[in-house]
Structure formats: C-alpha cells, structure tokens
Amino acid sequence: MCDVCGCGSHDPRIILMNPGDHTKSQSGHDHTHSHEHEHDHHHDHMHDHQYPEGRIISVETDVLQKNNMLAQRNRGYFEAKSIFVLNLVSSPGSGKTTILERTLKALKGELNVCVIEGDQQTTIDASRISATGFPVVQINTGSGCHLDAEMINRAVKELDPPNNSLLLIENVGNLVCPALFDLGENLRVVIVSVTEGEDKPLKYPQMFMSSHICIINKTDLLPHVDFSVNKLREYISRVNHHLECIELSARTGEGFEAWVEWIRQKVSGKQ
Ligand SMILES: Nc1nc2c(ncn2[C@@H]2O[C@H](COP(=O)(O)OP(=O)(O)OP(=O)(O)O)[C@@H](O)[C@H]2O)c(=O)[nH]1
Ligand SMILES: [Mg+2]
C-alpha cells in the first residue's frame, strides 16, 4: 500500500496482447512503488498532506528513491535501443486511447510503434490498440491509481520493442499520482478535454508542471460546451508557461496533423 496516495498497486498483472491469438498473463511479484521522478524540470512533489510531515517524507523518500532508480534503469535501456518514449496522462475519459488509435493509424508504415496500456482493470484499451495491428501490453494495476517504473520495466520485457522505435504509454486515468512517477519516459503528454472545465491546470498543477506538451482534445464539442480555450491556455501558462499546447479532435481529426508532426520531430531529434 502506498502511504502517500493510499492506492495499492503491489500486484499488477502484465498482459501481452498480440495482434494474433498469443496472450500471456503474468501475476506480479513483490512490488513497492515510488512517488518520485527525476526529470530536471519536474517539481518536487507536494507535502501538504494532513499526515505527520516527518513520517510521510521519510516513507516517500524511500519509495521515491526506488522508483527513481528503476526509472533511470528504464531510461538507460530505452537510450541503448534508441526507443523514444511518451507517457500520456489525463483524467479518465479525456481521450488517451482514442488519440493513440488515430496516432497509430497516422504512423503506420512510417515508424515501429509499441504501446503499453495502464488501467486498474480490463483489457478494453489494449484490445482497441491491438485492433490497429500494433503490439500492445496491458498493465492492470488493481487498486493502484498510476503506473510506476517497475511495471514499465516488466511490461517492456514482455513487449520487447525493436531498436529505433516509438513506445507510447497510456497511464491510468488520473490527474494526480501519475504526475509523481517517472517511468523513464523521454517526454510526458498531458491531455485535457473541453468537457472537463478550464480550471484543471490550477487544481492539478503538478501534472501540468511536469508535462512537456498539452493536448486540448475534443475541440469538435466546443460549440456545445461552456468552455473557453483561451481561459484554459491562460491557466496553463500560469502553472507552466513553457507548456506547448495543441488543440485537436481525436474524433474528427481536426488539428491532429500538428500532433503527429510534433511526434515526428521529437523522434527524429529535431526538437
Ligand atoms: N466528441 C469527441 N469525443 C471523443 C474525442 N476523443 C475521445 N472521445 C470520446 O471520449 C470517450 C473516452 O475516450 P477514451 O479515448 O476512451 O478516453 P481515455 O482517456 O482513454 O479513457 P480512460 O482510459 O478510461 O482514462 C470515448 O467515448 C471517445 O469516443 C473527441 O475528440 N471528440
Ligand atoms: Mg484509455
């Protein structure tokens, strides 16, 4: 049990979903997860809990150091194999899987792409990705509310991504804890949809502070909702004025090319 967020992700299930019928399932082993990440620009996690400060900080330090080490190990592995890794984070239902599906279709035949899906239960998202023909592993975190570096380490062993490939990780839908866990990714992508209200960056600043790009999704719904993209952008820049935003609709594809182009540029190292 994580003493910081109270979730329990001790025993994740790692399920390899092949486009064929090969399905492998593994039950987890002892697992302690951590709440730290080492991206330089990431901000220190918040300590404004209602718990005795000293106890929480010491538990966090232990737990966080372990995740930090494992994330670093993942990063070394990814670097050695030239695997470029994106970690997609958002509230439940913002459109992570839909964005992945469209992204995979756009990159088909151009890049080798593998996917890791994170959810508490079910292989629904992995099945959606599998239907596109790309290799995917589902991690079920049970009661855990986020992925951590150890889960990624184990999932990657199942997935075995090729050299010079792109690995897309869909984190558990949650705007809080995934912000605190470095997975060893290159860049973090936060997604916010226009049905969620403009205030999310102010309410969940850690996620926006620790991300490198923000996708504003479901713009096709703008005529129907009381939502100001300008206000959202202003709140984002208050929290992280470096955060680049791309407005798109994963449903209609409007604005999508800018996102795909962003990936191409990053993968090819052209910034
Ligand atoms: N109108 C509209 N609906 C969208 C768009 N993108 C996703 N949706 C819908 O939003 C719902 C949730 O989309 P998902 O892609 O499953 O969202 P998710 O972030 O993966 O959800 P979790 O994995 O449960 O956190 C689905 O009904 C999608 O069809 C969009 O651009 N426009
Ligand atoms: Mg999903």
Classify residue 45: in a domain, yes or no: no
Classify residue 62: in a domain, yes or no: yes
Q: In the predicted model, what is the mean pLDDT of the chain?
A: 87
Classify residue 190: in a domain, yes or no: yes
Classify residue 194: in a domain, yes or no: yes
> 120 lies in which domain range?
13-37+50-267
Rounded to two decimals, the pTM is: 0.86
Classify residue 1: in a domain, yes or no: no
Which pLDDT belongs to residue 5? Answer: 55
Q: Does ligand 1 come within 6 angstroms of the Cβ of 217?
A: yes
Task: Give the confidence band of 58 by pLDDT, cuts at 50, 70, 90.
Answer: low
* C-beta separation of 120 from 141 below 8 A: yes
CA distances from 237 to 5, 61, 201 (A): 27, 30, 9
Ligand 2: centre distance to CA 136 (Å): 13
- pLDDT for residue 53 is more than 90: no
Ligand 1: centre distance to CA 217 (Å): 9
Counting from 1 in the atom list of ligand 1, the atom nearest the Cα of 191 is 19
Average pLDDT over every residue of 52-63: 62
Q: What is the CATH number of the domain that holds 58?
A: 3.40.50.300
Classify residue 82: in a domain, yes or no: yes
Classify residue 4: in a domain, yes or no: no
* C-beta separation of 16 from 24 below 8 A: yes
Which pLDDT belongs to residue 62? Answer: 75
Burial of 176 (0-12, 13-18, 19+ CB in 10 A): middle
Task: Give the confidence band of 270 by pLDDT, cuts at 50, 70, 90.
Answer: low
Classify residue 199: in a domain, yes or no: yes
Q: How many domains, in total, are found in the chain?
A: 1
